[in-house]
Amino acid sequence: MEFQDVFPIWDKLSPPQRSRILGGLVRRRIEKGAAIHNGGTDCVGLLAVKSGRLRAYILSDEGREITLYRLLDRDICLFSASCVLRSIQFDVTIEAEKDTDLWVIPAELYRRLTEESVSAANYTNEIMAARFSEVMWLIEQILWKSMDKRVASFLLEEASIEGTNRLSITHETIARHLGTHREVVTRMLRYFQSEGMVRLSRGAVEISDREKLEVLENA
């Protein structure tokens, strides 16, 4: 898979623009747990994931994290190009949840592209609209959904991403994703276990009754 395969507007760019992108494109490998972008003062550029998984999250003044969205294979992120998005003040940290191979279009190169190409400018707006929709969905979850439903939803999403019902994940990690305390997650998981929905073991959560979790999530 090459960068051209994951950049949807590649065919709409001129030959000189394509050549410039390929000449400036940076290939990077980010190890699990490492951050590639740290807040609004950091301006990396446009990120395109070749393989692996990135997590975008915000950090409260008290140091509590909450996941905004994940970036999987072929996904593209623009919050990492904060200096290109002049009117947006959004301190997002992006870190690798798994060892990740990605491409980076440096910020200045991407800025020039959006100034020259209507297709690139429109694509940028589409990406940002989609990401903000995800953020608004998250806000709705926080405001209107009880924690048991949010934990159930997270477990089901995680199982879908990983392709297995046995999740190698700690209570602390789940709490960081959901922006809550570990003790809250532990209490929810123990309740789920008492209801036969999950089985708990050290460093792992196994979904034992997916249907029950789905009923809880949608209740």
Mean pLDDT across the stretch 66-91? 75
- Looking at the chain, the whole-number percentage of residues with pLDDT higher than 70 is 93
Confidence of residue 52 (pLDDT cuts 50, 70, 90): very high
Confidence of residue 143 (pLDDT cuts 50, 70, 90): confident
CATH number, domain 145-218, options 3.40.50.1370, 1.10.10.10, 3.40.120.10, 3.30.930.10: 1.10.10.10
pLDDT at residue 49, rounded to an integer:
95
Per CATH, 3-143 and 145-218 having the same topology is answered no
- Alpha-carbon distances of 185 from 1, 3, 23, 38, 110, rounded to whole Å: 39, 39, 47, 27, 41
Mean pLDDT across the stretch 147-154? 94
* Whether the predicted pLDDT of 40 surpasses 80: no
* Whether the predicted pLDDT of 76 surpasses 80: yes
Global pTM value: 0.80
Confidence of residue 219 (pLDDT cuts 50, 70, 90): confident
Confidence of residue 17 (pLDDT cuts 50, 70, 90): very high
* Whether the predicted pLDDT of 81 surpasses 70: no
pLDDT at residue 19, rounded to an integer:
96
Mean pLDDT across the stretch 150-166? 95
Confidence of residue 59 (pLDDT cuts 50, 70, 90): confident
pLDDT at residue 18, rounded to an integer:
96
Summarize pLDDT for 84-127 with one digit per residue, the tens.
Answer: 655 555 678 889 999 999 999 998 899 899 999 999 999 988 88
What CA–CA distance (Å, rounded) separates 7 from 26? 14
Domain chopping of the chain, boundaries: 3-143, 145-218
Dihedral sign, Cα of residue 74, residue 75, residue 79, residue 80: negative
CATH number, domain 3-143, options 3.40.50.2000, 3.40.640.10, 2.60.120.10, 1.20.1090.10: 2.60.120.10
pLDDT at residue 39, rounded to an integer:
62
* Whether the predicted pLDDT of 64 surpasses 90: no
Range with the lowest mean pLDDT among 14-18, 106-110, 150-154? 106-110
Strand segments, DSSP code E, in 41-99 are: 45-51, 54-59, 65-71, 76-77, 93-96
Nearest to 200 by CA among 133, 151, 128: 151
User: Left if phi > 0, otherwise alpha if psi is -120 to 50, otherwise beta: which for 196?
Assistant: left
